[in-house]
A and B are shown apart, each in its own frame.
Chain A
């Protein structure tokens, strides 16, 4: 085995050394150490005490932990479900209405505009949204009051009943550009004759959209859905900046809850447990993603 790999290696193996070395040191070892810590009680100083599965049992009965997972689910709606749907409609609209009737340049300007939030550091965007939501002088309440809808003014991020919805709005705004760009690129691949044929057969715009566009964009839809779901599970910055998980636990998410246990409450073992559960959830989706990608590649190579 070793001899065989050496003869096939022909001097390329050495190029893997720096990358793999750093990877083992800075990713693999910490990853394993974190899993090990999840079976211990540790404050960050002294020696960790092995407590078996106690942290996992604690998580199962912990209302805050479940609240954080529910909020991650809400973020999947805001980051995956809604942007994918809006992205599909917008991409189709820009592609076969704006680009055709008004011009390709205009469609490209719109696409760039929708994508712009994606390149701004999400943390800074969150800082700005925080002021917009501010109850006394924030622009949202200001506009509501000045058009006579002062009754609708809220303490958007400070009230447990509106906080999560307000965070979701920010994430939708932030996220729409990503599916849009991917779908518009995918649309280039579709043969315009298909649309012409369908139009001749008397198919309505919506029928063409649902039967042709959505069907042919399925590979892109898989990619968008899976990558954004992974992202939704990992959200940290916007929560840290806008709400710190509050009020109460109304906007707490798994990543922030784990951070809080690590660095605020010195419950390193429990923090590691939550991080491990989060990792397992992410890995399950990653496995789906890898399988679908390899199936697509196999299909393309045929």
Chain B
């Protein structure tokens, strides 16, 4: 097909070819695995931190919150080389685990910040009642705080998942082997190949975007509500 002409035939061949050429199944699984694991870990870390700071009202709460807030805005470049060196030394370089751990920790800073402010407004009577009834802290967290904060937790989970899915810089540095790469990384790299047909590239871009658009429509309402919540509170 000449690039200037209008398309003449409709075919799924390009999609299928691209799928096989970049081993899209593998990229999709990598992205899904990294995003899911990292979002769950970030959620757990944020929940624990915010439980201690927001419900437990530990002394030094302000100090911790400022600490975490600063981390939210740090440029990745200010951490990347020492992280790269460290993960090479401990033999975790070029593993999906490295990206999961780093992104979960970075994202948990925002999660802690958001959940801590949600928990500060948590009804005291509920936590006190549970403690008087003899619940320990873990039971208080799991049986009382988590069920009531489900809306905030699910919004955070969606956020973490999409952020990790869209992340480019850390996978670029850490996931060098082809079999570990994520969808955005594979798509950005595909441009470098010589002689790639335009229609194939379009197919590649389409495949890269579809999961996000699906996600967007699934969570559209939660998302638009939560972007504003995240920004203002």
Q: Does A263 belong to the interface (CB within 8 Å)?
A: yes
User: Among the listed stretches B8-16, B17-25, B223-231, which one makes contact with chain A, having 4 or more residues with CB under 8 Å of it?
Assistant: B223-231
Residues of B within 8 A of A22 (CB): 45, 101, 104-105, 108
Tell me how far the C-beta of B123 lies from the nearest C-beta in chain A, rounded to whole angstroms: 17
Q: Does A241 belong to the interface (CB within 8 Å)?
A: yes
In the complex formed, the residue of A with least CB distance to B208 is: A124
Residues of A within 8 A of B77 (CB): 236, 254-255, 258-259, 262, 271, 274-275, 278
Q: Would B201 and A27 count as touching, CB distance under 8 A?
A: no
Task: Report the number of A-B residue pairs with Cβ-Cβ less than 8 Å.
Answer: 228
B 125-177 contacts with A by CB, 8 A: 136-137, 141, 162, 165-166, 168-169, 172-173
Question: Contact string, B62-80, partner A, CB cutoff 8 A, digits 1/0?
Answer: 0010111111011111111
Question: Contact string, A236-254, partner B, CB cutoff 8 A, digits 1/0?
Answer: 1100110000000000001
Q: Does A102 belong to the interface (CB within 8 Å)?
A: no
Whether A112 contacts B220 in the complex (CB less than 8 A), given A120-B212, A278-B78, comes out as yes
Q: Does A119 belong to the interface (CB within 8 Å)?
A: yes
Q: Does A290 belong to the interface (CB within 8 Å)?
A: yes
In the complex formed, the residue of A with least CB distance to B173 is: A263
Tell me how far the C-beta of B194 lies from the nearest C-beta in chain A, rounded to whole angstroms: 15
How large, as a class, is the contact surface on chain B?
35 or more
In the complex formed, the residue of B with least CB distance to A296 is: B232
Q: Would B212 and A127 count as touching, CB distance under 8 A?
A: no
Tell me how far the C-beta of A175 lies from the nearest C-beta in chain B, rounded to whole angstroms: 13
**The residue from B46, B66, B86 contacting A290, defined by CB atoms under 8 A apart:** B66
Q: Would B191 and A127 count as touching, CB distance under 8 A?
A: yes
Q: Does A33 belong to the interface (CB within 8 Å)?
A: yes
Q: Would A18 and B101 count as touching, CB distance under 8 A?
A: no
Q: Does A142 belong to the interface (CB within 8 Å)?
A: yes
Q: Would A137 and B198 count as touching, CB distance under 8 A?
A: yes
Q: Does A192 belong to the interface (CB within 8 Å)?
A: no
Q: Interface SS of chain B: helix, strand, loop or mixed?
A: helix
How large, as a class, is the contact surface on chain A?
35 or more
Residues of A within 8 A of B136 (CB): 11
Whether A181 contacts B198 in the complex (CB less than 8 A), given A121-B183, A128-B205, comes out as no
Question: Contact string, A9-41, partner B, CB cutoff 8 A, digits 1/0?
Answer: 111111110111011001101110110010000
In the complex formed, the residue of B with least CB distance to A274 is: B77
Tell me how far the C-beta of A65 lies from the nearest C-beta in chain B, rounded to whole angstroms: 14
Q: Would B80 and A262 count as touching, CB distance under 8 A?
A: yes
Whether A16 contacts B78 in the complex (CB less than 8 A), given A121-B166, A127-B187, A142-B4, comes out as no
User: Among the listed stretches A157-165, A199-207, A227-235, which one makes contact with chain B, having 4 or more residues with CB under 8 Å of it?
Assistant: A227-235
A 93-130 contacts with B by CB, 8 A: 111-112, 115-116, 119-124, 126-128, 130
Q: Which 9 A-B pairs have the closest CB atoms?
A: A12-B56, A137-B3, A30-B82, A33-B82, A185-B228, A275-B77, A15-B52, A121-B184, A121-B166
B residues sitting closer than 8 Å to A (CB atoms) are 3-4, 44-46, 48-49, 51-53, 55-60, 64, 66-71, 73-86, 101-102, 104-106, 108-109, 112, 136-137, 141, 162, 165-166, 168-169, 172-173, 183-185, 187-188, 190-191, 198, 201-202, 204-205, 208-209, 212-213, 215-216, 220, 223-224, 227-228, 231-232
